[in-house]
Copies of this chain bind each other. A is one copy, B any other.
Amino acid sequence: MPRIAVDALGGDNAPHAVIEGALDAAGDGIEVTLFGPASLETQGLLLVEAPDRIDMAEKPAEAVRAKPDSSLVAAVRAVAAGDADAVVSAGNTGAMLAAGLLHLRRLPGVLRPAIAVPIPARDGPSVLLDAGANADARPEHLVQFAHMGVVFSEELLDIRSPEVRLLSIGEEDEKGNQLTLEAHRLLRDEGDRLNFVGNAETRELLRGAADVVVTDGFTGNIALKLLEGTIKDLLDAFRAEITATVLGKLGGLLIRPAARRLRTRLDPDTYGGAYLLGLRGLAVIAHGNSSRRAIANAIRLAARGVDHRVVDRLAERLPERVRV
């Protein structure tokens, strides 16, 4: 039974949505332990006392060092100590990264951890990384991200020999900036070790550009937030236009099942979180505005990663694959 440490104070809707979501996940047979102040009403879930809290606006590295007994850092430390198999937080992403680097540490050979986010593409889920762990990256980092993405894709999305593409501004090999041009060459040099099939353009992202889409953390974060924001704004705008007239409202009722199917596919809550890969322990970062459902799904995602031994797979395969 996977043991998941959950930061009860992480996210805009904490602690309520976190506790409710944790209860839902616990109902699936996942052993959930909450980390937070003793005053928390945990509704029967295990609680490890962690009185401090790291806010969204705090500087990550400083906050992590200054607050070892914060709910976020204590939950990460539980994984480092072997008391939990994975950690989930909807709190400060930078603090999660800093706590992971400090307490879990990087896997041997890993230069930089990366945030791997499932993308609900039309042709089936793909994974985008790095979605924001490293604002600046070097070409060799992107090669490692590619290998991490392959492990994610194989173990969690059940894809054999996943296709890898590099996010750039044209499908042609010679399109890109200095970083992507050099990364493209290094990815080609991986030969048989990687099923690298070339560049992907962002316009393909929601259609299913590739099983694994590799980019630096700045570009990945730009792309991910744009994708999420555009989906939300467009669905909202559509609703506003439809409900502006009586006939439109009637039509809206008739298309409601169709709209719901689309929303379900595109809802970020469906996955609930992203993996922070490359550490000696599994960490799942949930959206800051996570709902109860998102938290439950983030915990389930963490449990799946434990079941599939994602960290062991990365440890086994990265050192042999990565030449930097």
Q: Residues of A at under 8 Å CB distance from B? A: 57, 122, 132, 135-136, 167, 169, 172, 175-178, 180, 201-207, 216-219, 221-223, 225-235, 237-238, 241-242, 244-245, 247-248, 250-259, 261-262, 265-266
* Chain B residues closer than 8 Å to A226, beta-carbon distance: 202-203, 205, 223, 226-227, 230
Give the CA-CA distance A182 to B122 in the complex, in Å: 38
Question: With contacts A177-B136, A230-B205 known, is A247 near B254, CB below 8 A?
Answer: yes
* Chain B residues closer than 8 Å to A232, beta-carbon distance: 203
CB nearest neighbor in B for A252: B255
In the A-B complex, the 8 residue pairs with the closest CB atoms: A251-B254, A203-B229, A202-B226, A241-B258, A251-B255, A135-B177, A169-B221, A177-B218
Contact A254 B259 (CB under 8 A): no
CB nearest neighbor in B for A229: B203
Contact partner of A257 (CB less than 8 A), chosen from B176, B219, B229, B248, is B248
CB nearest neighbor in B for A262: B241
Q: In the complex, what's the smallest C-beta–C-beta distance from A136 to chain B, in angstroms? A: 5
CB nearest neighbor in B for A247: B254
Give the CA-CA distance A180 to B261 in the complex, in Å: 38
Contact A201 B219 (CB under 8 A): no
Q: In the complex, what's the smallest C-beta–C-beta distance from A245 to chain B, in angstroms? A: 7
* Chain B residues closer than 8 Å to A253, beta-carbon distance: 251
Give the CA-CA distance A167 to B221 in the complex, in Å: 11
Contact B245 A225 (CB under 8 A): no
Contact A255 B230 (CB under 8 A): no
Give the CA-CA distance A219 to B177 in the complex, in Å: 10
Question: With contacts A176-B135, A219-B219, A226-B226 known, is A258 near B242, CB below 8 A?
Answer: yes
Question: With contacts A136-B178, A222-B167 known, is A254 near B258, CB below 8 A?
Answer: no
CB nearest neighbor in B for A243: B258
Contact B230 A259 (CB under 8 A): no
CB nearest neighbor in B for A233: B206
Q: In the complex, what's the smallest C-beta–C-beta distance from A265 to chain B, in angstroms? A: 8
* Chain B residues closer than 8 Å to A261, beta-carbon distance: 241
Q: In the complex, what's the smallest C-beta–C-beta distance from A258 to chain B, in angstroms? A: 4
CB nearest neighbor in B for A248: B258
* Chain B residues closer than 8 Å to A247, beta-carbon distance: 254, 257
Q: In the complex, what's the smallest C-beta–C-beta distance from A178 to chain B, in angstroms? A: 5
Contact A222 B223 (CB under 8 A): yes
Give the CA-CA distance A258 to B241 in the complex, in Å: 5
Q: In the complex, what's the smallest C-beta–C-beta distance from A199 to chain B, in angstroms? A: 12
**What are 30 A-B interface contacts by the 8 Å CB criterion?**
A122-B237, A135-B169, A135-B175, A136-B177, A169-B218, A176-B218, A201-B229, A202-B222, A202-B223, A202-B225, A202-B229, A203-B225, A203-B226, A203-B228, A205-B226, A205-B229, A206-B229, A206-B230, A218-B219, A222-B222, A223-B223, A226-B226, A226-B227, A238-B258, A241-B261, A248-B255, A250-B254, A251-B252, A251-B258, A254-B254
